[in-house]
Structure formats: structure tokens, C-alpha cells
Amino acid sequence: MKDDILSYLEMCTLEGLSLQRGMNFKPPPARGIILMSRRKNAPYNDQMSADESEILYEGHDAPRTRLTPDPKSLDQPRVNSNGAPTQNGLFADWVDNVKANGIRPASFQVYEKMRQGTWTDRGPYLLVNYEYRSDGIRNVFKFSLKQSPEVPYESPKSSEQNLAQTRQIPSAIKHFVYKRDGGKCVMCGSTDQLHFDHDFPYSKGGTSILPENVRILCARHNLEKSAKIQ
């Protein structure tokens, strides 16, 4: 569920597979999986728009081998040595097919790394475009994704106005609240089945951009709170 806080094991259990890579393509109607990170020492330069409705996701490097000890010095590959598409290739091929034939865009469940072993559910995004361009050293893929219509949001008139109106809790607020609340439910101290919660409900005018209105609740206390809201 969007805004859930998950351990790596919980995330893998939820998806039913061991997530050993960040790019996991599945053709529609199935939904792929993307693991992203904007932490200081992240291996790739993943970015989000100010209102977090768009993601610019960097493609992945060739695997490190004896012959390629420094993949960061090589162009990111579209195909493997045997000619089969890499995950970069699968992403790019599908975008090309969408543009050429009008087929359904690929959808991805996105998880963002908050800290070692801790992830947050960002919800579904659609892959809409890509570029293969130089970063000053080599060529890299840049994949553009937009928040899926399955998660409604208002188009921004300005970044500041949209941030005030969106239900999406910004990553900076999540990081602050997670640290402030000690990674546990503020009601009972549980560290299982956690969720970022609007203290004053968004549906009643509560904001997502002030940490004072965001807290961590476990599933039980989140449900208890929802039952009391009229």
C-alpha cells in the first residue's frame, strides 16, 4: 500500500520474489518493479519532480566482471554480449513499441530506499519516455515515468501550490518523520506493518508537506484511527 514502510524482506515477500536488481521489467498487463534511491551515496542518479509525480530514473550499468572491473567507465548497455536485451533494453524497446504501435505503456510499482534495509512504497508509475545521452563521461539511459492514473493527483499550477494540495508525502518529509519517530509506531512502539499517516486527514484538509501533520502508525492503530473518522 502506498506510503507503507517496509523492510527489504517484507518488500520481497509482498512482491513474491527476491529483488536482487533495481530494474524489473514485466510486459503489460503485468506490472514491473523499480527500486530507486536518492540517498547521498546511491549508485545511480535517480531524480523526482518537485511534486514527486514524475521520476527520472537512470538506467543500470553492465555487470562487473574480470574484463570490466569499472562499469562506470562504460556506456550503459542496451543488449548483453549474446544480443539479448538488458533491462535497459527491455525498458527502451517497450517505449519504442508504444510510440510506434500505440500499445499500452508499461507500469511499474516503485519503491524508494530510505536507509539501509528500509523502503517506502511510492505506488504505481507509467514508463512514458527515455533518452540515451552523455553524462559528461559516458552514455546513460534516462527513463521518464509519470504517476499512474491509479493514484490521482492534481496537475500542478506551480510546484509550491501543488505540493500544498497533493496527498503525496514528499520524500524529505518521510525521512524527517522516520528519524523523528524512531522508525516505530508513535502509539505503541511497534516496528511491524508501519505506515506514514496524516494526523489530520488529507480528505479533511490536512497537509502532506508539514512534518507536524505526518506520523508513523502501525496497521492496527491506522485502522483504529480510520474507524473513528466520520
Q: What are the residues facing 7 on neighbouring strands?
A: 118
3 state SS of 197: strand
CB 115 within 8 A of CB 37: no
pLDDT band at 159 (very low <50, low <70, confident <90, very high): very low
Q: What is the pLDDT of residue 200?
A: 75
pLDDT the model gives residue 46:
97
Choose between 209 and 143: higher pLDDT. Answer: 143
Mean pLDDT value across residues 209-215: 85
Contact between 228 and 222 under an 8 Å Cβ cutoff? The reply is: no
* pLDDT of res. 114: 92
pLDDT band of residue 213 (cuts 50, 70, 90) is confident
**What global pTM score does this model have?**
0.78
Residue-wise pLDDT tens digits, 15-58: 988 898 999 999 999 999 999 999 999 999 999 998 889 999 99
Grid cell, residue 119, equals: 523502503
Cβ atoms 35, 57 nearer than 8 A: no
Residue 65: CB atoms within 10 Å: 9
Say if CB 125 and CB 107 are below 8 A apart.
yes
Residue of 128, 18, 196, 173 whose CA lies nearest to 221: 196
Residue 5: its H or E element? strand 4-7
Indicate whether 201 pLDDT > 60.
Answer: yes
What pLDDT, on a 0 to 100 scale, did the predictor assign at position 223?
85
Gap between the Cα atoms of 60 and 83, Å rounded: 17
Q: What's the farthest any 2 CA atoms get from each other in the chain?
A: 64
Q: Are strands 31-36 and 107-115 parallel, antiparallel or unpaired?
A: parallel
Nearest of 28, 21, 40, 219 to residue 111 by alpha carbon: 21
Pairing status of strand 47-48 against strand 118-134: unpaired
